[in-house]
Amino acid sequence: MKVSELLVEANHNKIILVDFQPAYNGGDYGHDDALTRTIKSLNKMNPTDILAFYNGEDVGIEDSADDVMHMYIEYGLDESIAQRIEFREKSYAWLRNFMDEGMDASIIIALVRYMVVNRINDSRDIDSETMPQVIGQDNYEEWESLIEGGDMISIPDIAINELKSMSGALIGGGGQHECLKEIQLLMNAFNIKYKEVGDWIYG
């Protein structure tokens, strides 16, 4: 959907952006074009609450919050809007082991919800008796070799309450089936509403 159509359904004062950052600049997966369109929209909308996730030193990327903010400004974002952005460094690929194998999103969401509620960071810490209760016996039987074979998912250091405060936000960034999808699955696990803006998505 276009931004103009989404504004009717979403809170256009709340924006979540994922992995628009220098490390992914200049690639062939549409980062630059999506960022240009995003900046144009933000300048028109003048949102009050912006949450921007990025990958940093924890995953071996040198980008800092200042680096990311300066990139937004270089792409034309009004500096008064840039100053409102809350930057959050996140880890990388915390759900991807199961995502990339094709596990259904509903199973991952059930796992994420259980892990957060029970303060479990590593899915391997869920024992084989409890796991079928969490995801369903049939799902467990289908994915047992993956789950018990050493692959895992983890919970990132992302404040769920902060995400809840952004309910109804417009969301964009990338990669569409990678880091952006991980944030969306985390939000889905706690019924946090959002609206994708197609023009803001890359990858």
Token couple for 1: 């959907």
pLDDT value of position 12: 80
Give the domain ranges of the chain.
Answer: 3-92+159-201, 96-147
Residue carrying the six token digits 């259980």: 114
**Residues 6+ positions from 105 with CB-CB distance below 8 Å:** 185, 188
Name which of 89, 113, 97 is nearest 188 in CA terms: 113
pLDDT value of position 26: 83
Distance CA(15)–CA(50), nearest Å, equals: 5
User: Bridge-partner residues for 90, per DSSP?
Assistant: 55
pLDDT value of position 57: 83
Note whether 179 and 55 are within 8 A (CB): yes
Amino acid identity at 168: G
pLDDT value of position 4: 55
The strand pair at 85-90 and 169-173 is best described as: unpaired
Superfamily of domain 3-92+159-201: Isochorismatase-like (3.40.50.850)
Token couple for 105: 């999103």
pLDDT value of position 8: 47
pLDDT tens for the 203 residues of the chain, in order: 555 555 544 568 999 999 999 999 987 789 999 999 999 999 999 999 999 999 998 788 899 999 999 999 999 999 999 999 999 999 888 999 999 999 999 999 999 999 999 999 999 999 999 999 999 999 999 999 999 998 999 999 899 999 999 999 999 999 999 999 999 999 999 999 999 999 999 99
pLDDT value of position 103: 97
Strand ranges (DSSP E) for 119-193?
Answer: 169-173
pLDDT value of position 77: 98
User: Bridge-partner residues for 18, per DSSP?
Assistant: 53, 173
Provide the H-helix boundaries in 87-195: 96-99, 105-117, 131-135, 137-147, 160-165, 179-189
Distance CA(15)–CA(18), nearest Å, equals: 10
Distance CA(112)–CA(123), nearest Å, equals: 9
